[in-house]
Amino acid sequence: MTATGLDKTALSRPERRGFNRDRFENRLFRVLKPIVIVLLMIVALFPFYYMALLSFRSLDSLLQNPGALWISLDEFNLSTYVDVLTPVSEGGQGFIIFMRNSLLVALSTVLLTLLVTIPGAYAVSRLQFFGRRQVSGLFLAVYFFPAILLAVPLFVFFTQVGLRGSLVALIIVYVSQVAAVSIYTLRNYFATVPVSLEEAAAIDGCGRLQTMWKISLPLAMPAVVSNGLFIFMIAWNEFLFALLFLVEKRDSWTVSLGLSQLSGSIEVPTTVLMAGSVIITLPIIVLFFASERLLVGGLTAGAEKG
């Protein structure tokens, strides 16, 4: 389909003297490729390097020498981390409490979502029931809906019933936000488990739930794990709903909210907040590299057509 469109001069080419387009392009791209790769690496990674660098410096040394790209041993300073983690009552910024909140919210979101969506995804991929198509369509629509439109009524509701500041309310909202994408990815994976295996189990006397639990779920475990990690990251990183629901209650701030609120005030030094940034980014990076292979599959699985 494409070869017919090729440049005729390139096709009928006995070795010509002088300018050779092929050789020129090959050489050009051979030079360009490493340059592009190095540039991309710098662009992608430098902000993280800078984050780590500033987190070990004091504010004074930053103000005196803003251009320094590395750090000398006598500048090296861990007090930023102590400051950012120490509870407010002891004069710190209380990130340890934010981390506890975030961990609680993210883990609950993962567990609750998987508990609800594994059977749901199984049903959508395996069982014929009334409205199956419509349900899938609804989930997909939810996934692309503007979060800000949902934020308005939820804000009104939580204000009316006085639930602002409640982590439980936040968890429920998170579950509803990720349930759709979770079902979508899991469904695609369940669809790859051969039906014949389940039929064999059914013939051997397994009930529907037993089959799901003993046959399909273990086979879909990679997808379940990557899905769980994906949900964890979403919940850990989420900002808008945390801002709307938790902002008045410092004790229930999540890490994202804590960092954004503190960075708005002038009293907390930038380098201390950089230590905070490292603390909230590090778990995500560790998780990501530990599970990169699984996760990359999970990220794309959701959008490929099943």
Partner 1 sequence: MTQLSGGADLSGRPPIIPNDGPDLRAGAAPGARRGRSRRNREERRAGLLLIAPTLAIILIAVVVPIVWAIALAFQKVRLINIRETGLFGSYTFENFIEVLTSPGFLQALWTTIVYSVFGTGLAIGIGLIAALALRKPFRGRGIIRASLLLPYVAPVVAATFVWSTLLNPQYGLVNWFGQTVLGWSEPVAFLSQRWLPVSLFGLEIQVPIALVTVICFEAWRSFPFAFLFLTARLQAVPESLDEAARIDGATPSQRFAHILWPQLVPTIAVLTVLRFIWTFNNFDDIYLLTGGGAGTQVVAVRVFDYMTARGDIGAAAAQALVLAAILAILVTVYLRLFGRQEEQA
Q: Which is nearer to partner 1, 37 or 88 (CB)?
A: 37
Q: Which is nearer to partner 1, 5 or 205 (CB)?
A: 5
Nearest to 172 by CA among 254, 116, 255: 116
Supply the angle between the helices 95-126 and 167-190 in degrees, to the nearest 10.
Answer: 40
* Helix, strand, coil share (%) of the chain residues, nearest 5: 75, 0, 25
By CB under 8 A, the count of residues binding partner 1 is 106
Near partner 1 by CB under 8 A: residue from 2, 72, 89, 265 = 2
> Segment contacting partner 1 (CB under 8 A): 59-67, 87-95, 103-111, 218-226?
59-67
Give the nearest distance from C-beta 11 to partner 1 in angstroms. 6
> Segment contacting partner 1 (CB under 8 A): 39-47, 73-81, 83-91, 92-100?
39-47
Question: Other CB atoms closer than 10 Å to residue 155's CB: what's the count?
Answer: 14
Give the nearest distance from C-beta 96 to partner 1 in angstroms. 17
> Could you tell me the two tokens for 119?
């059977």
Judged by CB under 8 A, the chain residues 72 through 111 that form the site for partner 1 are none
Nearest to 182 by CA among 236, 122, 237: 122
Judged by CB under 8 A, the chain residues 165 through 224 that form the site for partner 1 are 172-173, 175-177, 179-180, 183, 195, 208
Judged by CB under 8 A, the chain residues 132 through 171 that form the site for partner 1 are 132-135, 137-139, 142, 144-157, 159-160
Q: Which is nearer to partner 1, 89 or 195 (CB)?
A: 195
Q: Is residue 202 within 8 Å of residue 171, measured between CB atoms?
A: no
Residues 6+ apart with CB under 8 A from 147: 177, 240, 241
Kindly report the length of the chain.
Answer: 306
Judged by CB under 8 A, the chain residues 234 through 263 that form the site for partner 1 are 236-237, 239-240, 244, 255-257, 259-260, 263
Nearest to 271 by CA among 42, 64, 45: 64
Give the nearest distance from C-beta 31 to partner 1 in angstroms. 12
289 membership: H or E segment, kind and range:
helix 270-290
Q: Which is nearer to partner 1, 92 or 269 (CB)?
A: 269
